[in-house]
Structure 1
Amino acid sequence: MTLPSWLEKVPSTFGTKGHGKLKADHWRTVSTVNLVITLVRWWGTVNATPEELEALKNYIHLVVPADFASRRSMSYARAAAYDFHMEQYLLGLIRIYNHTLVPNHHLSLHLRRLLDAFGPVHGWWMFPFERYNGLLQPEMSTTFMCYFYIGTASHWLISTLQWPATKEYNDMLWSFENGMHSVTPFGAPHAGQISEIFYHLQTEQGHTIIEPFLVVDAYLPLNPSDASQDPYRKFPELDMRLYYDRFEERQHVIRANDIVTHFAAFKYEPDGIQGMCIVARNLDRMTTKVSIPI
């Protein structure tokens, strides 16, 4: 499996006694990337038993809200989708496993109100406080005051200073001011691989503008017949799909801001499709479109 360098990778000893205690990011990767790719590949095909397919659907109902709730942006539609899938997951726990719900399950159904009211959880969850706990242990007073003042001073500077009226500063201020608001989603990105980066120089109204461009090899989409055998398309909320493990003949030249996100990739030969394919797991944490099944 190929993962971008910024994604917290699961230890190679995962599943054994020697892997130790996993961090929250490790669990996030293994739950929303590794296991999703593997379980859909095993239990999402026509060869899966009804019990396996039911267990997979219930697991997907957990993955989707965990993914949606931890995005860097929030909208009312995404909060509603979180609530729908979380409720379906809990109902599945009772129906399939006769599981007794615990207080955390109950609390998870109240999170939608907080997502609607406060936006992305990164602005109000407890991980920063946990990080401060680690900082406080070696040098309690000085370390705490140092990091506290750094954070508050940065917030004050961004919100009060008169920043230059340039695109770079405007983009920074927009991100600061709009992080708690929804973004306009667009269609599903197409998986590809950057083969070359070059700079284009032009002059506009006496100003020299240097802009980077990227040459991208796009993976070849499945034909309609093979697409019907793609197990990942049964779960559109995951924003995953198979491509042939080869590139389109024509390369694409795009601007840097046309790059949406990285993706996790895994190559295998699916049942019912001749030849190797690559599954692309979209790792976009901002703009993926959401829908709620009726």
Structure 2
Amino acid sequence: MASHIYDFLKLFGPVISWWCFPFERLIGALQKVNTNDHVGGPLESTIMKSQLHVANIRRWLRRSDCPEAIRQLKVLFDKCFVPTEPPEEEFKLGSHRSYIKRDGVVFSPHLTHEGNATIIYRPNSNEEPIAGRIEQIDNVVTENGTLTRLLVRAHLPLPKASYDPFRIFPDFPAKTYSTQMKDSLHVVDLDNVVAHAARFDFSHNRSVLLNLSRA
């Protein structure tokens, strides 16, 4: 797990945002090992050397100059025991993403990171921006490559009978919406995302959203 932190950072964002249960589970397993009190050096050294041996063997087997006889043994071994990870050349993006980074800004579904999920966006390129919440981020395979699209649930407009305290401040980039959200989802291209938004829910089912655009 520790040797793949770089990969997990790319997949899931900052360490504070994702689960550390695999670390805890490994610690629990190590605590149950019969060490005969050989701790404080020998045990840790043995574990580290074993990990390095395995990593070096796997790397050597993937080298182009690895002897063919050894490579055939690896093929037979892989048929008997399913590899824990696919070869790098066979790696494919999954259909969903836990985040997407664009121009230095990270967007995530609300179940992954609530703070990165509330956005101001255009349902279509020629429409006025509205507020919504990212429900899902999909990888869409096309003839020209893989595109990333957001599934966004929009806030319902504020009912006419409800008072918008921010309406009297036209130069302040905040707008009040209903706390309720639409049942349907908008499929949004990244180019139609304006910015993140800060959201605060207050009385009478109202939510004020502040446009955090840097422009």
Q: Would the TM-score normalized by the shorter structure come out above 0.5?
A: no
* Higher Rg: 2
Normalized against structure 1, the TM-score is what? Answer: 0.29
Relative contact order: is structure 1 or structure 2 higher (C-alpha 8 Å, sep ≥ 6)? 1
TM-score, structure 2 normalization: 0.39
Richer in strand (by share): 2
